[in-house]
Amino acid sequence: MTCRYTFGGDEHIFVEVDEAMSLEAFFVSLSMTNAVRDANIEGVTEICPANASFQIKFNPDIIHPDDLLARLQQLEATAESAEPVLETRIVEIPVYYQDPWTHETLMRFRERHQDPNATDIEYAAEINGFETVDKFIEAHAGAPWFVSMVGFVSGLPFLYQMVDRPRQIEVPKYLRPRTDTPRLTVGYGGCFSCIYSVRGAGGYQMFGITPMPIYDPEQEVSYLKDFMVFFKPGDIVKWKPINREEYDRAVEDVQAGTFAPRVRNVRFSLDDYNADIDGTNAKLMEVLYAD
């Protein structure tokens, strides 16, 4: 793949790695943004990675746009030849599917939905060919997901399903966005799942809610005291379906400061993954649940 470079005004360069999201494009984007950071290029002020692209903000009084473009093109050649291996972590995220709070919210906005007579998850199950919602939940929670970018609102992760393309879930966004979405809603739009880090407007289908805060600007949550945002690009997520009792217990643990996310360090090889997707996912699960 060949990157496409575009200047955005006087202070930005937008780099599109590929038009379609893929783990290959993600790895090139991640490798290039890491290289820009490590190079400590004078004049670069912000690095913003996305799913299959990234944007660099710079001070044109310090570095000429053409000079920065040349540096990025050099890094592109290095990134494409680099071994696609990532030292990262895998995280278990509990999800209370079909919870009462997202259900109440989605029922207030049925006139904005493709199927006013179905819930979001019922609609998603039907258009993806699943006989029941339970089967759909098994598919959504059955394989791990890559965090391909964090943003749009503070701390919100976009997650890409780690299965072969024919098995990937795809669900369109609402016809018109909602004006309300509960905090920590697990949503879905296009080929991406997400977690709404804060309450607000949104257009993704709502499947459930997690009791696990992922963004805390006050840094009062026990596991967010070092940094207010939990996720970073390259994290791997495994959804864990839970019931109402488990959800309430987890909320109490968060409030008491005793909730500890299950997190394990892992080495991920894109070549190994492409050679055996299901086998690689199984090994990731072994690492996550080793104890």
Q: What is the DSSP letter of 234?
A: T
**72 and 181 belong to one structural domain:** no
Overall domain count for the chain: 2
Sign of the dihedral defined by the CA atoms of residues 77, 80, 84, 86, in that order:
positive
What pLDDT score was predicted for residue 276?
A: 97
Closest CA to 196 of 164, 153, 163: 153
Query: What's the burial of 244, exposed, middle or buried (CB within 10 Å: 0-12/13-18/19+)?
Result: exposed
Domain that holds residue 12: 4-82
Q: How many angstroms from the chain centroid is the CA of residue 104?
A: 25
Q: How confident is the model at residue 22 (pLDDT cuts 50, 70, 90)?
A: confident
Whole-angstrom distance, CA of residue 204 vs CA of residue 130: 19
Q: Which of 31, 49, 82 is the last residue of a domain?
A: 82
Tokens of residue 231, six digits: 């996720």
**43 and 114 belong to one structural domain:** no
Whole-angstrom distance, CA of residue 71 vs CA of residue 32: 11
120-127 vs 133-142: helix axis angle to the nearest 10?
80
Residue 79 pLDDT greater than 80, yes or no: no
**159 and 174 belong to one structural domain:** yes
Put the strands of the sheet holding 4-8 in their side by side order: 4-8, 12-16, 53-58, 44-49
What pLDDT score was predicted for residue 266?
A: 97
Residue 152 pLDDT greater than 90, yes or no: no
**36 and 112 belong to one structural domain:** no
**51 and 92 belong to one structural domain:** no
Residue with tokens 């055996």: 276
Q: Which of 82, 113, 141 is the last residue of a domain?
A: 82
What pLDDT score was predicted for residue 246?
A: 98
Residues 6+ apart with CB under 8 A from 220: none
Q: How confident is the model at residue 62 (pLDDT cuts 50, 70, 90)?
A: very high
Q: Which of 54, 82, 110 is the last residue of a domain?
A: 82
**183 and 127 belong to one structural domain:** yes
What CATH number should be reported for the domain holding residue 59?
3.30.1360.40
**266 and 221 belong to one structural domain:** yes
**140 and 38 belong to one structural domain:** no
65-81 vs 23-39: helix axis angle to the nearest 10?
130
What pLDDT score was predicted for residue 199?
A: 96
Q: CB of 32 within 8 A of CB of 47?
A: no
**270 and 195 belong to one structural domain:** yes
What CATH number should be reported for the domain holding residue 246?
2.40.100.10
Query: Phi/psi at 140 (nearest 5 deg)?
Result: -65, -40
**32 and 159 belong to one structural domain:** no
More confident residue, 284 or 152: 284
pTM reported for the whole predicted model: 0.92
**16 and 92 belong to one structural domain:** no
Whole-angstrom distance, CA of residue 66 vs CA of residue 47: 17
